[in-house]
Amino acid sequence: MEKALNNKPKSSPEMIIYGLHPVMEAIKSGKEIDKILLQNTATGPLVTELRRMVREHNIPFQFVPIEKLNRTTRNGNHQGAVAIISPINYFSIMEIIPSVEAQGKVPFIIMLDKVTDVRNLGAIARTAECAGVDAIVVPAHGSAAINDDAIKSSSGALLRIPVCREDNLKTVINYAKQSGMQVCAATEKSSTPYTQVDFSLPTLLIMGAEGSGVSNEYLKMCTAKAKLPMLGEVESLNVSVAAGVFMYEVLRQRGIL
C-alpha cells in the first residue's frame, strides 16, 4: 500500500471550495470531498454537468436553499455550489484488510450503521484508536460527518485511525466474509452474550444507532450476533459506550489485557 494507514490533518477549521468551476476542478483533481451543497433552484449547463459529476463520483450531496450557501460562504460568489473538503484521507476496505493481514495481525474492524451523532462517532473513534482497532467503516450516506467537531470529539483519534467511507455496506460485509472474517452484529435481538462470541477470530463488528440498532438487512448477513446484558430498566447503552465494551472484550479474548 502506498499510503500509510493513518490520517493527517489537511485543514482546520473545515475547508470549503465554492463556485461551479472550482468545485468541478476539485472533483477532477481527486480531492477528498465530504459533501457538496447544491442550490435547489440553480439551473444551466454547468449546473447539469456538475450534478452529473457528483453522481458519477458517488459524492454525498444535498440540495439546499440559497440562504444556506450565502451563510456558508459569507455571501461569496458560490454560483449555487459549495464543496466541503474532508479533513482526513479515506481508505478502502479492500486495501485495509490485506494490509493488516500482511503485518501478521488478526484484523479487527468496526462498522457503524446509521450513527449520525458526531459526538458518538468521535467517542467511538477515540476508544477504537486506544484499543488498536484496525479501521472504522462508515457509509457514504446517512452517517455523521467527519468534520472538525468529530475530530475534536475523538481527541484527534480520527486523524490516526484509518476510516473507510464506503458506498455499499453490503459489499463490505461480503468482502469481509470472503476474506475469512466473522461478521458480528451488536444487537439486543441476539440471545448470545457478548462474552460467548469468539473474538479471537478476525472480526468485523457492526454497531448500530441507538433506537434503531443494526439494520435487518445487515443482521441477515452476519455470521454472529451478540448482546450486552441489561440489568436495569433502561433498554440500551449509548452506542459509544456499548462499542467500548465490545472492543475491550476483543482485547481480553486475544490476551492483550
pLDDT along the chain (257 residues), means of 10: 49 74 92 91 93 91 93 88 91 96 97 95 97 96 88 94 95 98 95 96 94 93 94 83 97 90
List the chain domain ranges.
15-85, 93-253
What b/e string do you get for 176-213 counting C-beta neighbours within 10 Å, with b at 16 or more?
A: beebebbbbbbbeebeeebeebebebbbbbbbbbbeeb
Crossing angle of helices 169-178 and 93-102, rounded to 10°: 30
Number of alpha helices (DSSP H) and beta strands (DSSP E) in the chain: 9, 10
Domain 93-253 has CATH 3.50.50.60: no
Position 147 scores a pLDDT of 85
Q: Write the single-letter amino acid at 197.
A: V
Q: Write the single-letter amino acid at 136.
A: I
Cα–Cα distance, 222 to 219 (Å, whole number): 5
Domain 15-85 has CATH 3.30.1330.30: yes
For the entire predicted model, the pTM comes to 0.83
